[in-house]
Amino acid sequence: MKKKKLPIDLNVIPEEDLLKTRLCDLPVTIEGTWVKECVDQLYQELSSKGILFNPVCYWADEWLTPEGETCIGVPFYLAHPRLMQLEKKMMEEVEGGTKADCMKLLRHEAGHAICYAYKLNKRREWQNIFGLSTEEYKDTYKYQRYSKNYVHHLKGFYAQYHPDEDFVETFAVWLTPDTDWQKKYQGWRASQKLDYVDHLMRSIKGKKPLCVKAHQWWRLATLKITLENYYKKRRISLAEEFPDFHDNFLKKVFLSPSLDHAKKAKASVFFQQYRIDLIEAVSAVSSQKKYLIEEILTQMEKRAKALRLEIKQDDIKTILQTASYLTALMMNYFYVGRLRPKKAQKRK
């Protein structure tokens, strides 16, 4: 006779046991959580605009709206403070972990769901303004930081990723209460997109959706991966977004803290001293923007300081190694939009 499993108590379960727990076994529901309050607020915002459609929300492994579906996947870790704590420890941040950020992401995903529900992306004018939804979602994207063709909503200039994202980011800005988008985006080409979204939403006001397909792909109850393996996969996929991304290079080029009393130059001082020279040289070779190189140098300097690394050889050799490393990163960015290639994401 099989031994009956005891119910999981997220408040007291040891972290070691929690990491061995499968996602599908987590005892979480949306009802009664702070996320449910956010979902209710989303519905209220849609109703105030006369939109007669409320996308169903469910626990998934990440933020997503399955392609062609009219439901919203919300990451499971928002269901309980203990899971949010683990997410913070493993991933450095909790995406959507505050009410303000959660609402931003819900409005974004609601844009996808409403687009599918009313088949907005099939309209010729929509396509003329935003592009074709059939355009391929690439593994990565490069953005123009100062472009006025797109709204600013989610971080990473996400509106520039794909025509669908351009629309839903514009929709999210339009939907956000107390946002004077007419004034904020005055003179921008993005204001024309906002005007169109305003017109478009008025055209579906009070109308029922044309299509409601709510198959909950990647639903939590279907995911048998353990939390431990789930985080291993995510960390590998998003390696360059963690502070320790440059550690392997730094530890090869610089020395660990010495135990003797001989004074050695600090690696962080090296980055400060040759910062401008490295930026100029790598930018000239790679043709990449200087601010991108500067951002990476800042990250490397912070890590070198945190690891208390020291210079182990002459400056010329260190400069050459560092410049070569930066150039390789920049060329990766030029070709694939990331410092290191990653596998394609088939979700939105």
| pLDDT for the residue 344 | 38
User: Distance of CA 177 to CAs 36, 100, 193, 248, 255, Å?
Assistant: 19, 12, 18, 46, 53
| pLDDT for the residue 98 | 97
**Tens digit of pLDDT at every position of the chain (348 positions):** 455 566 899 999 999 999 999 999 999 999 999 999 999 999 999 999 999 999 999 999 999 999 999 999 999 999 999 999 999 988 878 999 999 999 999 999 999 999 999 999 999 999 999 999 999 887 667 778 889 999 999 988 999 999 999 999 999 999 999 999 999 999 999 999 999 999 999 999 999 999 998 899 999 999 999 999 999 888 766 655 666 778 888 988 888 876 654 567 788 888 888 989 998 888 888 877 787 788 888 888 988 888 888 887 677 888 888 999 888 888 877 665 666 654 433 445
User: Distance of CA 295 to CAs 270, 290, 291, 300, 302, Å?
Assistant: 16, 9, 6, 9, 11
| pLDDT for the residue 347 | 47
- Domain range list for the chain: 15-229, 241-336
Strand partners, 310: 255, 266
Strand partners, 75: 60
| pLDDT for the residue 59 | 97
Nearest to 231 by CA among 343, 76, 9: 76
CA 238 to chain centre: 10
State residue 153 phi and psi, 5-degree precision: -135, -80
| pLDDT for the residue 340 | 60
User: Distance of CA 334 to CAs 142, 143, 149, 158, 327, Å?
Assistant: 8, 11, 21, 18, 10
- Amino acid at position 328, single letter: A
